[in-house]
Amino acid sequence: MRRTLPLVVAVAVAVALAAGGCTSDGDDSGPAPAVAGGAAALPGPVPGDLALRPTPTDSPVAPKVTGTLTDGSALAVADLWADRPVVLTFFSSWCTTCGQRQAAFSELARGYRDKVVFVGVAGEDEPDGVQAYLREHRVEYPVVLDDTGAIWRSYAVREPPAVVLVAKGGALLRGWPGGVDAATLDGTLRELVLAS
């Protein structure tokens, strides 16, 4: 009994030190990081200098969809386009083309922050895979998890990538089955949506 007591104490001390050592370097002392693509990524107020082109009167109305963001928050996309244009990006974490284009899309979204809202719509995917994708590609805009495929079907998306541009007010301006590169999307935003 006398021999096992020091061993038990030594193991208990080692376990306590190992558990405490996980946070002792200061790297994890803050709160856990927010879920990427959640409500914290929603846009701020509309900038006062946002100047938009008139929407063509013959444009069809975009489907009004609702969904759940990656952090469980509800989102009605029409609430976003009530104030400003919206770009919907349909993707999956396993989609090679999506991954190849995402860095440029993320940069474009940061450049248009609050003026044009980018919203990712992840389908045919798992939440863990989506989170890994969002963190790897520095996606800083809100992302809806389309578990049932209802949003994809509303926009006739059969496979990723796909991109849809919706004007302020909800007019469907342009869609790209198969996706689009960031430079072309930027040019289209300047041509069809932004007046300045």
Task: Give the mean model confidence (pLDDT) for residues 116-136.
Answer: 96
**What pLDDT does residue 133 have?**
97
Q: What number is the average pLDDT over the span 116-123?
A: 97
Q: Which two tokens stand for residue 87?
A: 């770009």
Six-digit token string for 176: 């790209």
Least reliable range by pLDDT among 16-25, 30-39, 45-54, 157-166: 16-25
| Residue 31: how many other CB atoms lie within 10 Å | 6
Average pLDDT over the chain, rounded to whole? 86
Which of 31-45, 62-76, 111-125, 182-196 comes out lowest in average pLDDT? 31-45
Between the two ends of the chain, the Cα-to-Cα distance in Å is 82
Q: Which CATH number fits domain 39-193: 3.40.50.1820, 3.90.1170.50, 3.40.30.10, 3.30.230.70?
A: 3.40.30.10
